[in-house]
Structure 1
């Protein structure tokens, strides 16, 4: 399924308000507190295996193995590449484990301590290490900044498929915002690190990997535009894509379906991995 054509040019709306999700969702602290509580409960019920993928203290992933030969999904957290870690999102694992899917959730270093290009390299290492461990490319899914990183891995052939939830695929609109104080992007680096400018997976060959772009229907116009533009562009190059706006969900509550093993979002991920 592909999205209808959409003008890929950024909207004229003021970028700070369009990309400052915490300001746009005043009750985000309550949602994030729920993430933390649910994550702690999930780890207590089923502690993950800590797997290092580098020498740094944040170069660690939590791994829950459903079975020795189970397919693996990697969830990449958001936070605009400058906040959060794996410990906030352990609650994402149990619903997929119920479908026989192993789940890995990595932390990574944050800007401005490291560059965004370094973070992309770290997530590449995660995917490559899991492929060596399991013998198969992982499925990747991520939220916001994690959606950006998931699309990067898919473009490079390091993933069997990807689901980007509220992803940021074109980084250039972030340059004039306060977010860029930590990111340090200029036009050249923003374009070089934007998967919307990267080649499609498998060169767009039919039957190859697929990209789902999901966004909250109550998110800002720019987040809706980014997901639709990414799905449209890769679809025009032959990639199987899907765009969906989830009614009434904002940039934080858009993750709620991932907590339900029977939700369409979780069952879609499980089905993608069994194709």
Structure 2
């Protein structure tokens, strides 16, 4: 849209000067949780980053998948192990996948990797609740909208029963005009093809789209747009904000067993 400075809107590290300390806190808390509750490592592909950390609960009901952010070009699942704490406290299994990064691969290839990871988790014979932060929110929405039967006739089409996105990105076209695109290498066609906002809406399940209360206007627009568009298609949708949260603190409630965020994910997992 004319008149919008997309660099300002989407450069979260510039918007939150204290982000180095917040990200260091993620790594510290994640390492401590991994020591306390070592995960099972599951390979879903041959690549070094194509792994899933499974933090076991009681082995019953849907598995909640948490997909990390980093604009498809940074970080890995090991920095977010602590995001399993809140749900694990209620006996819910949490899977935290890692994926290859741009520019080594494209966004479309990362979407494909998460589909492969979901198929690997399908071997447990349990539904999945796909959650994610930032780029991970984009990937979670993609999983909900995937036609699983078309990929593998042995899979149930409702393999993913819900998506829960935190500060997600669903329309990638604005990123073309930002420095982020140096690694993403998106053009108008590839950005639209990788944008779940423009996919055929899912025919089942639900979508929750949350945004940190202190995020940019574009993040609010992104989540409201997909809630509205998929809601018109008769998918149960919710839009909400996380009070006083910026892009880096928005995921903090996942580590708190008593938080409303964990309570909602618990509800989505049927617990």
TM range (shorter): over 0.9
Partner of 2:141: 151
1:246 is the counterpart of 2:242: yes
TM-score, reference length from structure 1: 0.92
**1:215-254 Cα shifts (integer Å, max 9, x gaps):** 0110001001101111111111111000001221110111
Task: Give TM-score, length-normalised by structure 2.
Answer: 0.93
Q: In the alignment, which residue of structure 2 is the partner of 1:107?
A: 98
Contact 1:215 1:223 in 2 (8 A): yes
Structure 1 CA distance for aligned equivalents of residues 52 and 107 of structure 2? 19
Q: Is the 8 A contact 2:40 2:53 kept in 1?
A: yes
What secondary structure sits across from 1:56 in the alignment?
A: coil
Equivalent residue, structure 1, for 2:153 = none
Counterpart in the other structure of 2:3: 12
Figure out how many residues of one structure are paired with residues of the other and give that number.
260
Q: Counterpart of 1:168 in 2: which secondary structure?
A: coil
- Alignment equivalent of 1:78, drawn from 69, 78, 90: 69
1:69 shift after superposition: 2.8
Choose from 26, 29, 33 the match for 1:35: 26
The answer to whether 1:136 aligns with 2:126 is yes
Q: Distance in 2 between matches of 1:11 and 1:259?
A: 39
Cα 1:61–1:221 shift into 2, 3 Å: same
Provide the C-alpha distance between the structure 1 equivalents of 2:176 and 2:29, rounded to a whole number of angstroms: 34
Could you tell me which residue of structure 1 aligns to residue 150 of structure 2? none
* Native 8 Å contact 2:60 2:92 kept in 1: no
**What's the CA shift for 1:11?**
7.1
Match of 1:269 in 2: 265
| Counterpart residue number, 2:109 | 118
Post-superposition offset of 1:68? 3.1
Q: Which runs of 5+ in 1 are unaligned?
A: 1-9, 203-207
- Whether contact under 8 Å (1:124, 1:158) holds in the other structure is no
The reply on whether 1:191 has 2:192 as its aligned counterpart is yes
Q: Which of 36, 43, 59 does residue 52 from structure 1 map onto? A: 43
1:89 counterpart SS class:
helix
What is the Cα-based RMSD across aligned positions, in Å? 1.2
Q: Contact between 2:85 and 2:254, CA under 8 Å: does it hold in 1?
A: no
Counterpart contact for 1:11–1:222, Cα < 8 Å: no
CA contact (8 A) 2:83 2:251 kept: no
Unaligned runs of 5+ in 2: 147-157
Q: Does the residue aligned with 1:254 lie in a helix, a strand or coil?
A: coil
Matched, 1:91 2:87: no
